């Protein structure tokens, strides 16, 4: 009797469900990471670019608005844009790290 290959830890899973799980293992943390990078760049450029009509700030406000809107709904009215961006960045970094940890545990990947 031969042991299962090292890549097949979940014997009950079909090949399609295993591929889907591995795809989620890559895509979900990647999306949270990309969101974190865009928010970090927005925070950085908002600090150093002082012109309110700057095309750079317009670009980042358009890109990060869908990311900050759910966070803004949880916060009280009157929170500054800088604070909203910083809190959104912190939340997306936590989501990125938590999704990596959760999916690693689900798949059975050991750190190291």
Is 33 domain-assigned? yes
Is 5 domain-assigned? no
Domain of 23 in residue numbering reads as: 15-107
Ranges of residues in the chain whose predicted pLDDT is under 50: 1
Is 10 domain-assigned? no
How many Cα atoms are found within 13 Å in the side-chain-facing hemisphere of 44? Answer: 6
Question: CB under 8 Å to 71, separation ≥6 — which residues?
Answer: 84, 87, 88, 91
Q: What confidence tens digit (pLDDT) does each residue in 20-36 have?
A: 888 888 899 999 999 99
Outline where 1-112 has alpha helix (H): 15-48, 55-74, 81-107
The pLDDT, as a whole number, for residue 112 is: 62
Q: Tokens at residue 39, please?
A: 């928010």
The pLDDT, as a whole number, for residue 25 is: 86
Number of domains in the chain: 1
The pLDDT, as a whole number, for residue 76 is: 92
The pLDDT, as a whole number, for residue 37 is: 97
Is 86 domain-assigned? yes
Single pTM value for the model: 0.79
The pLDDT, as a whole number, for residue 19 is: 82
In angstroms, the CA 47 to CA 50 distance is 7
């Amino acid at each position: 009797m031969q042991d299962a290959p090292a890549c097949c830890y979940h014997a009950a899973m079909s090949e399609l469900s295993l591929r889907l799980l591995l795809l989620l293992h890559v895509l979900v943390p990647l999306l949270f990471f990309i969101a974190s990078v865009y928010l970090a760049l927005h925070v950085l450029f908002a600090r150093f670019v002082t012109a309110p009509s700057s095309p750079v700030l317009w670009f980042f406000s358009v890109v990060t608005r869908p990311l900050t809107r759910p966070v803004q709904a949880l916060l009280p009215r009157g929170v500054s844009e800088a604070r909203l961006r910083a809190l959104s960045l912190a939340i997306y970094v936590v989501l990125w790290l938590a999704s990596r940890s959760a999916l690693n545990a689900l798949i059975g990947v050991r750190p190291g």
